[in-house]
């Protein structure tokens, strides 16, 4: 039986009377709870109103309250889909974890220097595209060939034409005196071009000591190239070192811009690691945090 609604002890607080209407079922439920908690009905209603208001303050603003409700829905879905409680079953936990992470990612803030990151990324992609286009033309014309595990095709092509692979088998050969009528590669140019071609995943199939007009190459459509085409391919070869340096420069700019974002994420992971130290999730946070820090050092 519910206790009689005695006047509440003031405890220094001012009270006022408020007559409210409520469903009979709600009053009966409140009465049951009051009896369980050894409260009067009045005291039970006041206690629950105070708890509700305190919960609103602790849960945050309306957006946060809505988020907690969404998270609860995701947990309910994981439990309904698996038929198990998420804290007692691996599959239910994995489903709940993935759904909760997806909900939180909706609130991920933009990167601090997002415009700089996007601009440097676009410039890097542009320069990589330019370099790859040059390499593709050189490959189609038979000036270079991909340096793959299956190198028999490269060796066969070299043997058939008796051409050296620029530098892949050792030191570069000394340049002979340049003929007066053709394109020449002076000083360290041969080694520079050969090394850059190799760094791009290719090897030379032409002799840089030879007049480019004498190169046995094809046109882009696969037909026999005119002698003047060698000069064009030679000019394209000469442009590779600079094009590759341009890519490296753009990559460095992008990584420097992105580093600020990675450092912020690493800081957050370190905070989580310290908070979870000694907790069963601490090892997971440590692994992820250290992975971020390691990526910054690359």
Q: Is there a domain that residue 235 lies in?
A: yes
The whole-angstrom separation of Cα 61 and Cα 213 is 76
Q: Which of 246, 261, 281 is the last residue of a domain?
A: 246
217 and 161, same domain (yes or no): yes
CB within 8 Å of 123: residues ≥ 6 apart: 250, 253, 254
Q: Which residue in the block uniquely carries the two structure tokens 């800081």?
A: 267
Residues 133 and 175 in one domain: yes
How many independent structural domains does the chain possess? 3
CA dihedral 261, 264, 265, 270 (to 10 degrees): 160
Instruction: Decide if 224 is inside a domain.
Output: yes
pTM score, two decimals? 0.53
pLDDT at 261: 86
Give me the pLDDT at residue 216, please.
Answer: 75
Asked whether residue 15 falls in the same domain as residue 103, the answer is no
Of the candidates 163, 162, 190, the one whose C-alpha atom is nearest the C-alpha of residue 175 is 190
Say yes or no: 132 and 230 in one domain.
yes
Q: What is the mean pLDDT of each run of 10 residues along the chain (298 residues)?
A: 48 75 91 91 89 73 82 93 93 93 87 90 95 91 74 47 35 31 47 83 81 75 71 87 93 91 86 71 52 50
Structure tokens at 214: 């004498």
Domain of residue 90 covers: 60-108
Indicate whether 100 and 146 sit together in one domain.
no
């Amino acid at each position: 039986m519910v206790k009689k609604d005695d006047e509440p002890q003031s405890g220094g607080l001012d009270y006022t009377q408020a007559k409210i209407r409520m469903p009979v079922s709600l009053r009966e439920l409140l009465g049951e709870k009051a009896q369980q908690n050894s409260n009067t009905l009045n005291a039970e209603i006041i206690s629950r109103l105070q708890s509700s208001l305190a919960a609103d303050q602790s849960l945050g603003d309306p957006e946060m309250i809505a988020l907690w409700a969404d998270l609860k829905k995701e947990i309910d879905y994981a439990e309904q889909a698996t038929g198990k409680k998420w804290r007692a079953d691996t599959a239910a936990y994995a489903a709940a974890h993935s759904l909760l992470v997806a909900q939180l990612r909706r609130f991920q803030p933009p990167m601090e220097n997002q415009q700089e990151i996007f601009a440097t990324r676009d410039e890097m992609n542009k320069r990589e595209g330019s370099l790859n286009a040059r390499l593709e033309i050189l490959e189609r014309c038979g000036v270079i060939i991909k340096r793959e595990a299956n190198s028999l095709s490269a060796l066969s092509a070299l043997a058939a034409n008796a051409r050296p692979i620029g530098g892949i088998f050792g030191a570069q050969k000394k340049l002979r005196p340049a003929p007066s009528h053709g394109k020449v590669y002076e000083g360290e140019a041969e080694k520079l071009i050969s090394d850059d071609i190799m760094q791009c995943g290719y090897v030379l199939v032409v002799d840089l000591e030879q007049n480019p007009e004498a190169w046995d190459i094809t046109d882009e459509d696969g037909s026999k190239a005119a002698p003047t085409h060698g000069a064009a391919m030679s000019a394209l070869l000469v442009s590779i070192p600079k094009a590759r340096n341009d890519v490296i420069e753009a990559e460095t700019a992008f990584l420097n811009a992105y580093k600020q974002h990675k450092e912020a994420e690493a800081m957050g992971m370190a905070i989580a690691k310290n908070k979870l130290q000694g907790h069963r999730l601490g090892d997971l946070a440590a692994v992820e945090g250290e992975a971020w820090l390691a990526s910054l050092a690359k």
